[in-house]
Amino acid sequence: MISKWKISEPNLIKSRNLSESLEVSLDIAKLLILRNIETFSQAKSFFRPQLNNMHDPFKMKGMQKAVDRIILAIQKKQKVLIYGDYDVDGTTAVSLVFEFFRDKILDIDYYIPDRYTEGYGVSMASIDYAKKNNYSLIIALDCGIRAVEQVDYAHKKYIDFIICDHHNPGDQLPLAIAILNPKQADCTYPFKELSGCGVGFKLVQAYCISQNIDLDSTIHLLDLLAISIAADIVPINGENRTLMFFGLKQLNSKPRPGLLALINIAEKKNEIKISDILFGIAPLINAAGRIIHGKKAVQVLIEKKISQANIYAKEIKENNNTRKELDKSITEEAIKKIDSQKKSTVLYSSKWHKGVVGIVASRVIEKFYKPTIILVEKDGMLTGSARSVHDFDIYQAINECAYLCEKFGGHKYAAGLSIKKENIEAFILKFEEVVSRDIKDDQLNMKFNIDLEISLAQINNKFFRLIKQFAPFGPINPNPKFISKNVHLNSCRAIGQDKSHLKCIASDNLGFQIEAIGFGLATKLPLLNNSLTVSICYGITENIWNGKTTNQIIIYDIRI
């Protein structure tokens, strides 16, 4: 697979002005300009986020109605059910809202749908459960924006809904008591990219304001919110940057027992960063819903005793080990089925495990870079996950095939869907037609958006300290990518359990050296020798080993 390097071109005049204003180097100013930080005040907010600068939650459409309905439930001693999806965003959202209200609502419980018997979103079975157990109000988190039929069904059973969602709304909205979703067309809330857990947190904030509760009492919930923002890959700018900044502080200073147990199980011994959440903590939380049941994730996240949390975490780790085995075997099988001539991939099997199809779709894209859907067949129905490539809206592509789907929902880069088996071949043809029509050739190649070209010698301690202050990193604010030319890669060797990673020393002609690692780049090893100079695309990080911290670069791509 050929990758494309695109070097950014920040406005030079703005960069020079910002460099003078902040008294930083021109390169640092260019990095800020590329992140739409153009003034001293914007830079101050970027580097020094403040919780008191967050938006008023009552600017979100439906918020007053939602708060009023919760207050009514408390006054009338009604039973309330906190409902959420089985992924990380859904289970953290349920944990956050349930934990906040459990000492305020007399009779409250939570419900996570079964991935295999109920599927994604609000299920009819959950409403039957609520009716049977006399619940009067359901607060749905990270789902519900398309649950038109389900909310109507609940209304007939005298059950009210408050929907807290962040997915794209459909043409028709459910007739809930209140819908909290900043992506509603007529919602004036200034920040549109909250996670599902983030929308739940704004509901908690609004309740606090209405009841004169100090907002500082909600800070302990931010560790959950940090997990959700990282795992759901929402933009790390605006309000999300502030919430992530303080969420990471909470996670590193005083995490809840359940998260501490998961951190220990994941063997994370240093400062927790977004990468540690993405590749360590989030997969553990997700494993519960993939292998056993999502309620196991909530169980550990709301546990108050560390001894019990450790027991739950150990069980989840066993689930994750099972997930890893399934992930590997199904990915290998899926890759063998791919038609390299097509511009999309849609694969299905009755033998695959529904719990790992999203992961498999991502793995397949790593090998064949094109929009991918992986489905599992059971009882005449295919359900699964879709993942996309750079700047291609897979949600809209599926939307054009909606007449062949039973249901679907999601984002630009990720979606879930269900299709009757009798429609799958027509869907595959239509989806390929839509993708072939809309996708550009350069979108079918891995793309590296590069911030700056620099020399290796520029990576001194001062430069590295400033780059660290750009964190937390994520969409909109990625870890800066650089290129350097005329680089020597010395002492190269393959490392890792499967020897797929490249470890080496990068050096320039002036004698500057820095440790380097390239994940999945061991295939480049036969092409490298000490006399060869290369161009590298990389990011700057630090390596902590045996208590010693050193600067390190992560190589993303190498050009001979």
Model pLDDT for residues 218-267, shown as the tens digit of each residue: 999 999 999 999 998 899 999 999 999 999 999 999 999 999 999 999 99
| pLDDT at residue 557 greater than cutoff 70 | yes
Residue in the structure block whose two tokens are 């007449």: 403
Alpha helix positions (H), 254-305: 257-265, 274-276, 282-287, 295-301
Among 326, 295, 375, 351, residue whose Cα is nearest residue 98: 295
Model pLDDT for residues 492-513, shown as the tens digit of each residue: 999 998 899 999 999 998 889 9
Query: How many other β-carbons are positioned within 10 Å of the β-carbon of residue 26?
Result: 15
Q: Are the CB atoms for 181 and 188 separated by under 8 Å?
A: no
* SS3 of residue 13 by DSSP: helix
Beta strand pairing status for 548-559 and 533-545?
antiparallel
**pLDDT reported for residue 261:** 97
Pair of tokens at residue 378: 């059971």
Q: What is the mean pLDDT of the chain?
A: 94
Pair of tokens at residue 418: 């269900």
Give the torsion through C-alpha atoms of 512, 518, 524, 529, to 10 deg: 20
* SS3 of residue 339 by DSSP: coil
* SS3 of residue 101 by DSSP: helix
CA distances from 362 to 6, 231, 518 (A): 23, 14, 19
- Out of 55-69, 376-390, 397-411, give the one with best mean pLDDT: 55-69
Burial of 336 (0-12, 13-18, 19+ CB in 10 A): exposed
Model pLDDT for residues 394-437, shown as the tens digit of each residue: 999 999 999 999 988 877 888 889 999 999 999 999 999 999 99
Among 489, 480, 491, 483, residue whose Cα is nearest residue 536: 483
Contacts of 225 (CB under 8 A, 6+ apart): 92, 96, 195, 197, 198, 201, 243, 244, 247
**pLDDT reported for residue 409:** 82
Among 176, 182, 210, 208, residue whose Cα is nearest residue 83: 176
| pLDDT at residue 31 greater than cutoff 80 | yes
Query: How many other β-carbons are positioned within 10 Å of the β-carbon of residue 347?
Result: 23
Model pLDDT for residues 172-206, shown as the tens digit of each residue: 999 999 999 999 989 999 999 999 999 999 999 99
Pair of tokens at residue 521: 């780049």
* SS3 of residue 78 by DSSP: coil
Model confidence band, residue 1 (pLDDT cutoffs 50, 70, 90): low
Contacts of 515 (CB under 8 A, 6+ apart): 505, 506, 543, 550, 551, 552, 553
Query: How many other β-carbons are positioned within 10 Å of the β-carbon of residue 350?
Result: 11
**pLDDT reported for residue 442:** 85
| pLDDT at residue 144 greater than cutoff 90 | yes
Q: Are the CB atoms for 426 and 404 separated by under 8 Å?
A: yes
* SS3 of residue 423 by DSSP: helix
Q: Are the CB atoms for 347 and 319 separated by under 8 Å?
A: no
What phi, psi does 242 have (nearest 5°)?
A: -65, -50
* Lowest mean pLDDT, pick from 61-70, 353-362, 514-523: 353-362
Beta strands in 356-445 (DSSP E): 372-378, 381-387, 407-410, 414-420
Among 340, 229, 342, residue whose Cα is nearest residue 281: 229
pTM (predicted TM-score): 0.88
Residues across the chain: 560
| Angle, in degrees to the nearest 10, between helices 196-210 and 238-253 | 90
Q: First-to-last CA distance in the chain?
A: 15
Which residue has better confidence, 1 or 277? Answer: 277
| pLDDT at residue 60 greater than cutoff 70 | yes
| pLDDT at residue 141 greater than cutoff 90 | yes
CA distances from 425 to 59, 233, 385 (A): 45, 31, 17
**pLDDT reported for residue 248:** 97
What phi, psi does 34 have (nearest 5°)?
A: -65, -20
Residue in the structure block whose two tokens are 């080990």: 321
**pLDDT reported for residue 530:** 64
Interatomic CA distance for residues 476 and 280, integer angstroms: 22
Contacts of 87 (CB under 8 A, 6+ apart): 142, 231, 232, 286, 289, 294
Task: Encode 206-222: b = buried (16+ Cβ within 10 Å), e = exposed.
Answer: bbbebeeeeeeebeebb
Query: How many other β-carbons are positioned within 10 Å of the β-carbon of residue 379?
Result: 6
Find the largest Cα–Cα distance for the chain.
Answer: 78
| pLDDT at residue 475 greater than cutoff 90 | no
Task: Encode 482-517: b = buried (16+ Cβ within 10 Å), e = exposed.
Answer: bbbeebbbeebeeeeeeeebbbbebbbeeeeebebb
**pLDDT reported for residue 412:** 85
Task: Describe the chain by its helix, strand, coil percentages, rounded to 5.
Answer: 45, 20, 35
